Structure 1
Amino acid sequence: MKKYLLMLTAVLSLSGCGDNTSIVNSWRDPDVTVAQEQFKKVLVVALVKDEASRRITENRIASTNPVFKTSYQYLNATSELTKEQKLKILQDENFDGVVTMRLVSKEKEVNYVPGTYTGMYYGGFDGMYTGVYGYGFGNWYGMYSPNFYDPGYYQETTSYMVETNIFSLKQNKLIWTGTTESQYATDLGQTIDAIMQAVVKEMRKDGSLPPK
């Protein structure tokens, strides 16, 4: 096993709704890669107002690799700590990296899904029943089938735009950022899995992480 821990590698094995999550855009520092940083202790920060969602998100990421630590374990009194105090805690606890995740936007879109027509009408040619072998009662009966026509309907889709940032505390700067879009999200945990899979895939693509 390599001496350094490659950021986010473990989440590649996670299952989830990855097909509904994709990278919208990303950027990496051209002078440094995540692999080069050799992170050993990384703070995970979910920038959300709801405490339950924050803990679910941070716990989900932290469960993928011992290198990740949840922010609520160290910075739970966020409203009372100054920026300098927070940085002092991270320094004292020997953190060398930070991953932040925040919801950029939540948009709803309503689309019409057209109905389907079975095509079974009398069973003859040109819509007329002719009694020709193979076009008898079985096809004619289709016109009375409840599956004859599946009516259209309106479908509401919610898209979540989430920004993921990776900071190097050693260099005191942002080294990678990416925005993902997730649709049909019904479970927060699985959505987080899918976001991290998309992030890892993009980081392998841009060279931040070595190819699989």
Structure 2
Amino acid sequence: MKLLIHPPYRTLFAIAAALLVSIAFQGCAPSTQITGAWKSPEAASKQYNNLVIVAMTNNVVARQQVENDLQAQLQKQGVTAAKSIELFPPTSSGENGPDVNAIMEKVRSNGYDGIMTVALVDQEKETRYVPGNYTYAPITRFGWYGRFSGYYTYWSPMMYDPGYYTEDKIYFLEANLYDVETENLVWSAQSSTYNPSDLQNASQEFAQVTVERMGQDNVVSRQ
């Protein structure tokens, strides 16, 4: 797929839950990395120190996990971070989620300077072939080659473990940072998560690499 570097400007509630509630995938250990990042030229060197974190999914467990992990990572950097699930609990939302005007009114009245959103933007499946293994159990090197029975007996311990096909799953998450005063997008990054084993590990990895990149791009402080 063609990865997005510049962020899309659309709401992504509907597709976010797929990654955040997935567990027990086949394949190798979880691996999350930033695949692209963008910073607004207008952002200059401003750092954001008082954020609201918004995981854009209607799955309560996933929303809680992602917001908890991002809050923990941001606090390690000395950034004050509030979770949207506490500011705007599910019981206060309508069928289409919280009212955006109510969100902005509460965010501004509480003195936050930035809003950080997280959403799933794409997911892929890849089929790959896992080759089999050869194992060898040697016997004496004398007297085996000249007769069929000896030759066959010699080579029969060469056992072939047939290969197989497996399906890998890759998820692409996008994190955006908006300025509260202007509501403009000031920073965005996309990450890929390869075969996540469970929600907790995937969320913790995502939070770590994302906040590290925010520090590198100087949108939050670095400890």
TM exceeding 0.5: yes
Q: Which residue of 2 aligns with 1:103?
A: 120
Query: Counterpart amino acid of 1:52?
Result: V
Distance 1:81 1:124, change over 3 A: same
Query: 1:18·1:194 contact (CA, 8 Å) conserved in 2?
Result: no
Query: 1:106·1:159 contact (CA, 8 Å) conserved in 2?
Result: yes
Distance 1:59 1:109, change over 3 A: same
Tell me, what secondary structure is at the counterpart of 2:46?
A: helix
Matches within 5 A, 1:140-151: 143-144=156-157, 148-151=159-162
CA RMSD, Structure 1 to Structure 2 (Å) = 3.2
Structure 1: runs of 5+ lacking an equivalent: 1-16, 131-139
Q: Which residue of 2 aligns with 1:195?
A: 206
TM-score, structure 2 normalization: 0.67
- Which one of 173, 176, 179 corresponds to residue 187 of structure 2? 176
Query: 1:118·1:149 contact (CA, 8 Å) conserved in 2?
Result: yes
Matched residues, number:
181
Q: Which residue of 2 aligns with 1:58?
A: 67
Query: 2:115·2:178 contact (CA, 8 Å) conserved in 1?
Result: yes
Taking the aligned partners of 2:107 and 2:172, their CA distance within structure 1 comes to: 28
- Which one of 42, 54, 70 corresponds to residue 83 of structure 2? 70
Q: 1:36 aligned to 2:53?
A: no
Taking the aligned partners of 1:89 and 1:144, their CA distance within structure 2 comes to: 73
Query: 2:30·2:197 contact (CA, 8 Å) conserved in 1?
Result: no
Q: Which residue of 2 aligns with 1:134?
A: none
- Which one of 102, 107, 111 corresponds to residue 85 of structure 1? 102
Taking the aligned partners of 1:55 and 1:18, their CA distance within structure 2 comes to: 23
Tell me, what secondary structure is at the counterpart of 2:42?
A: coil
Distance 1:211 1:46, change over 3 A: closer
User: Aligned-pair distance for 1:159?
Assistant: 0.8
Percent sequence identity is 25
Distance 1:158 1:18, change over 3 A: closer
Distance 1:169 1:109, change over 3 A: same
Q: Which residue of 2 aligns with 1:23?
A: 34
Q: 1:114 aligned to 2:93?
A: no
Query: Counterpart amino acid of 1:36?
Result: K
Query: 1:120·1:143 contact (CA, 8 Å) conserved in 2?
Result: no
Taking the aligned partners of 1:29 and 1:118, their CA distance within structure 2 comes to: 57
Query: Counterpart amino acid of 1:87?
Result: M
Which is worse superposed, 107-116 or 59-68? 59-68
Matches within 5 A, 1:160-171: 160-171=171-182
Taking the aligned partners of 2:29 and 2:205, their CA distance within structure 1 comes to: 4
TM-score, structure 1 normalization: 0.71
Taking the aligned partners of 1:123 and 1:114, their CA distance within structure 2 comes to: 29
Tell me, what secondary structure is at the counterpart of 1:179?
A: strand
